[in-house]
Structures are given as C-alpha cells and as structure tokens.
Chains A and B, each alone.
Chain A
Amino acid sequence: MSRNFFGLMRSSAPPATEAPDAIGSERAAPPPPPTMKQDDAASAGVHLDPNLEAVRHDFTEEVDMALKLRGVSAFYGSFQAIDRMTMPIPRNRVTALIGPSGCGKSTLLRCCNRMNDLIPGARIAGEIEFEGRNLLDPTVDAVDVRRRIGMVFQKPNPFPKSIYENVAFGARINGYSGDMDRLVEDSLRRAALWDEVKDELDKSGLALSGGQQQRLCIARAIAVQPEIILMDEPASALDPVATLKIEDLMRELAEHYTIVVVTHNMQQAGRVSDYTAFLLAGEERVGRLVEFGPTQEIFTNPLDQRTEDYITGRYG
C-alpha cells in the first residue's frame, strides 16, 4: 500500500490549473491510512445479511474517528432510502461520498446532523456515534447536534440579509459573546471571500454571485465553529474557477475540521478527499454502502467490480 497516494492521485487528475498541486504540496503529510478498530468491526457485524457488509480496505493504523456510523438506515414514510450503512468518518480529514443519483448520499449526510428530523415522515434507524454518544438518540438535543455538525447545502441558500448578518447569525443565536466583527472577518477570510466583500458587508447575501454565495454559506457554517462540516455537492452549480476555490478551501478547512463531502465529480473526489465511500442503489432503489477506504486505494485499486465500473464511467 503506497502511503504517498496523494501524489498518485494528482497524476491522474487533469492538469486544470496549478491550484491542486500547490495545495497538495502544501499539505504537511499525507493522512495515515486509518484502521477499523476491533470493536467497530464487531459492531459492524450487526448485519443480518452478510451481503450488506461493504468491502473495506486494509486499515493498518489507528485513526481518530469523528463519527462512527453503525447500521444506519433511513426511511421516508414507508420508502427505505438507505440500508444499514456502517462506516467511520475520520477526524480532520476529507471524506467523499460518491455514487449515482438517488443512492442516498444526501440522505446519509442529513442523518449525520439530524436534518431529516425536519422532514415529516422521515425516520432513521441505527446508530451514529459522536463523542461517545449516539446522536440519533431522541434524548440528544438535535439543535446542539446541528450546532456542532454544520452543513453546507447543494444549492447556495444565504439568508436574504446582509453578508455580515448571514455570518453573524449562527454565532449570535448560540450566545457567542466575543468580538463579532472579528469572528465575521475570520470566517469570511477562511472561506476565501473576505477580499471580495470586505467593503460591502451590508450588501444582501442574495446579491452575490453563485460561487460567492456558496462561500458565504461556508463562512456561515464555520462561524458557528462546528467540529464537523457536511457539504452536499458544494460545487455542483459553480464555474471551474469558483469550484477550485471551494476545493482549496476544503483542503484548508480539513486542518481544523472534519469534512464530509458529496460529489458527482470523480476528479474532485480524487483531488480533495482523503477517504471515499461508494454508495449504490440496487433495483429496489435502496442505497447501500459498497466500498469504503482511502481515496487512493478506491481509485487505483478498487476491491469491488461495481466501484471500478462507476469510477471509470461504466455505470449509470
């Protein structure tokens, strides 16, 4: 197993610009391959159907896990969207969720911060361990979960308020008592938006371009200082320049935050992520985890034929 898989991945990525290389070389060290701990493996054994056990790559080293999903199933009414998914989300790493449309990527993401509580008729089974507790437990406060596990949506959705207010809102309602101006500036800087908006902070968030709006939403998410940021296709509606900016941003954020990102863009998954999960829905449209492992392994040496088919573009 090559440890320098990031170098490998770069060679397979298209030479679009200098940016990914610059970012790649800036990274201190490639992430060590994680390992599933014994108890995880054991709890993964809750599967009744052995076929549900996703293919996992060899984990040779222990890695800190931000989230541990165990047998997570999600339902919309009587329709089951995802079925018993078991996977780790490594801390301070970028984890990509890939898979064809409708396989339950967004659903899985929304389970992780209890966003699906808001959908009438939606239901989740299984367990998601977060700091020693099951965050799906009804006694756990969903509001607190969402504060600590932020989310950036597929479609930019800034509030129709000023840029400043967009960023400050989350911190304010959470009782932030520090210097708000600094927090806003910090968050906007980290979202690589500050230079573009610093002179017009009272302009409406809706008056920004799509890419700027998406970065504003990212700034809004990090202003609350969550531990994990879930991103649902954050770059799907953006032009290549804005997309690269957001990818740069993800790499930078990964130094302090755990990031889970849904993407349809294989090159993007290759460029930004450390780990990749491949999801697939069968005939009955129920999404299942097929393969999880370090991105480089998944891309260069997939263990499951379906993963290879999807990555090479032979799947729907």
Chain B
Amino acid sequence: MSAAMPSAQLTAFAPRIRIRRGFSVGFMVVALLAITVSMLMLGALIVEIAVDGAARLFTDGSATSQEVRGGTLIDLPMPDGMIWLSWALPVAILLPFFGLRVVRSVLSDQFARSRWIERSIGVLTTLPVAIFVHILYVRFESAYYIEYAKAIGVDDASGTIFQLFGEASGFQFVRLITAGLILPLGILAAGWLWSHRLRRPSLLLPAVAVVAWVVYLFLDPLFLSSYPSRVPAQAGLFSAITGTLYMMVITAAVAFPLGVGAAIYLEEYARRNWFSRMIQVNISNLAGVPSIIYGLLGLQVFVRVLEFERSVLAGACTMALLVMPIIVVSAQEALRTVPPSMREAAYAVGATRWQVIRFHVLPYAFGGMLTGNILAMSRAIGETAPLIAIGALTFIAFLADSPTDDFTVMPIQIFNWVQKPQSGFHEIAASGIIVLMLVLLVMNATAIIMRQRTRTDW
C-alpha cells in the first residue's frame, strides 16, 4: 500500500549526477594544445629517464662513456630486446584495457556520445605535434652535447652523438612513438582510473609536465645526488634533501596529531568561556611569533634540557612547535566547514559526541586538515633561522640513519653556499633555490588539489 504515486512521476524530480557539459570550441583548442605539448613532454621525459637508466644498466661494458661536468655522455647501443620492450610493454598493458573500451563503445548504440571516441581522437591528433616537438628536442640536445664535449676537449664526442642519430635512428623512432602516443594514452587511462568523473581535461598534468621538463633540461641530475663538496662543480644537495625529508616526516608525525587533537578539543569539546577564548587568541598570536624565537626555545628545551643534541629530532620538534598554530587554525577551520545540520543529523539517531566526531565530523573535515598540514609543512621546509639557532650543520657528507644523527636541510645548505666567496658556489646556490621552490610549488599544488577533491557540496 506504500508508494501510491507512480514512480515515473518522481523520476522527473530526481537529477542524474552524470551531467555532460558542452565545451566551447576555444576551450577545446586550448586544452588540446596544452595537453598535447605537456603529454609529449612528460612522455618524452619518462622515456628518456627510463632509457638512460636502462642503458646504464644494460650497456655496462660496451658503451663508450665520457665524464663531462657532473654528467655522463653515453653512446647508447641499445639491445634489441629493450627496444621491443619499451614498445610492447605499454601496448600490452594498455591495449586490452583501452582498446576494448573503444571497441565496446563503437559497438554500442551510444557511439555518438561516447567520451572514449572523443578522447581517442583527441589523443591521436597529438601525434604529429609530438613528432615535430620531439625532433626539435633531439636537435637541441645533440647540439648541447657537442658544444659541451668540445668545450671540455673530448674529441670523439661528435662521433658519439652522430651515432645516436645515425645507427640508432630506429630507436629514436621508437622513443618518439612511445612519447607521443602510448604515454599520453596511458596517462589518460590512468586519469580515468583515478576518477570516473574526469569531466574535463585537467590542466594540472600539463603544468607539472612543463615544470618537470624545464627542470630536466636545465638541472643536472647529479646535483641532486651528490654530497656537499669543496669543489662547486661536484657539490650537491643530496644530504640536504634527505635531511629535509627526514625532518619533515618527523615534524608532521609530531605536529599533525597534536594540532588536530587541539583543534578537535577547541571546536568540539571546549565550552565557550574565557579560558578557551584565551587559548584561541594565544594560538593566533603564536602564528605571528618570529621563527628565531622558536629556534631559541628549541635550543633550550630540546637540545639542552632534553639532550637531543643537534639532531634531526631536535630540529623536527622545534619545527613542530613552529607550525603547530597553522595546523590548529586550519584544522579548526576545516571542522567549522562541517555544517551543524550534519552534527544534528547524527545526534538525532542517537550518536554520542565521540561517534559524531569520529564518523561524521572528522571524515568530512579530513581533507581540509591534510591541506592545512601540507601548507604548514611547506612553511617549515623553508625555515632557516630556528635551525641555525639549534645548530644544524652545513657540511654533511653522509645520510642520517637515526633521528639522533646530525643533519642539514636545504635552506641551510643554500645559505652556506651563498656565504662562500667563490662564484661557483653562488651558481649552485641559485640551483638549490630553484629546487627548493619546486618542492614548495609541488607541495602547495598538492594542497590545492586536495582541497578541491575532498570538498563536499552540502
């Protein structure tokens, strides 16, 4: 006797979530261009790295290699198997998955509306552009290597490069195809897997690809994998990068639970009285305290009283104090975005306060909290003063393997290089700053994306 109304009438009111949006032609063109160029670059980059690595592995004895400034010029006689592998693997992985879908949508009556057709065509159009850009790139790279080899007095360098062009042209072609077609397909497919509702081409991937490309062109990989050195050309950021990572992990592990706990207490449990207001005001004030003060606090409390010495742990605890206000405030904001009606709904079915927080408030606010955490970490990653205050070292030629080891971090390493008289160090300091900026960029971008993705439209 229920449902007296015919349900057909009601379906008219029920919106379908999958809404196809129309694109303007202009948007399509721009997006297509952006995607093409970036896919291409990203693809080429990945192949490039993979091939380089493989070449180093497989051509141990046979390759003639030449040390140039912090890099290696390699003649790449690729084993045949590798060539076919680089071709066949992506195809083997993607074709059943992607191809089947295309075929199915062709067969189905929805052919005209299939996004898969649209996308495949879009991807195919990238091919000519991919070839063109890749040829430009190879030219550029060769010229660069020839110039460089001559400058450092290597005679057979030109021969090496030409070999790459001549005999290995088949291989070049493979690279090209892989870069221009297979990888974009793969990335699109991955994007589809990531989100079924990828409704429009994301411009994020292009941005990341372009940045990665530029970095790859201008940054010597050895700079990232060398320890500090007395010689500018051999000095690298390796121990600083690992030190930064190490410290950030511990900082987050200390600051996130404490900060989120404080936020939950203040928002969900504390009564609104003078005491909680005072705490609130103090937290906001702490966010504005100069970081050197935190350094002095850390020096006394962690280094001296708790006897952590000048260790990663002492640095991380100091940093945790420094970023705590940011984490607390952003977590509070995230908690406040959960509408009161959600809490009431949960209370109304008999949930206890903790159940409301655990099953409703926290899950909906978690994305925002993580975002805040990442932003706090990106603040901590650039902080120098407090770490100098607690005495982080600048010349570390080993990796920390326990939290009580000495350490250095990127900004301190850079600071150290800038102080030196030799201009070579100033140049690598500039490179170091670029690396630091890139890390920051990536972290902030991640935070923004996360905020978008985890947002609930109430």
Contact = CB atoms under 8 A, between A and B. Distances in A.
Given A160-B364, A239-B13, A189 B2 contact: yes
Contacts of A206: 456-458
Interface stretch (A2-10, A40-48, A125-133, A168-176): A168-176
A239 B9 CA distance: 12
Interface string B1-28: 1111101011101110100000000000
B342 A157 contact: yes
Interface in A205-250: 206-212, 217, 220-221, 223-224, 239, 241-242, 244-245, 248-249
Contacts of A120: 271-272
Contacts of A179: none
A215 to B, nearest CB: 10
Given A157-B342, A239-B13, A252-B2, A196 B7 contact: yes
Interface residues of B, number: 35
Nearest to B343: A118
A241 B10 contact: yes
Report whether over half of chain A's contact residues are helix, strand or loop; otherwise say mixed: helix
Nearest to B349: A170
Interface stretch (A59-67, A141-149, A294-302, A306-314): A141-149
A195 B14 contact: no
A252 B359 CA distance: 31
A57 interface: no
B14 A208 contact: yes
B360 interface: yes
A19 interface: yes
A115 interface: yes
A146 B350 contact: yes
Contacts of A157: 339, 341-342, 344-345
Given A143-B350, A146-B347, 12 more contacts: A113-B348, A147-B349, A153-B348, A157-B341, A173-B351, A173-B359, A196-B14, A203-B17, A207-B15, A217-B345, A239-B13, A248-B4
Contact of A241 (B9, B17, B339): B9
A190 B2 contact: yes
A173 B350 contact: yes
A155 interface: yes
Contacts of A223: 349
B348 A252 contact: no
A251 to B, nearest CB: 10
B16 to A, nearest CB: 9
Contacts of B3: 192, 195, 245
Contacts of B13: 209-212, 239, 241-242
B355 interface: yes
Nearest to A223: B349
A120 B4 CA distance: 43
B5 A245 contact: yes
A26 interface: yes
A159 interface: yes
B296 interface: no
A115 B347 contact: yes
Contacts of B350: 143-144, 146-148, 170, 173-174, 224
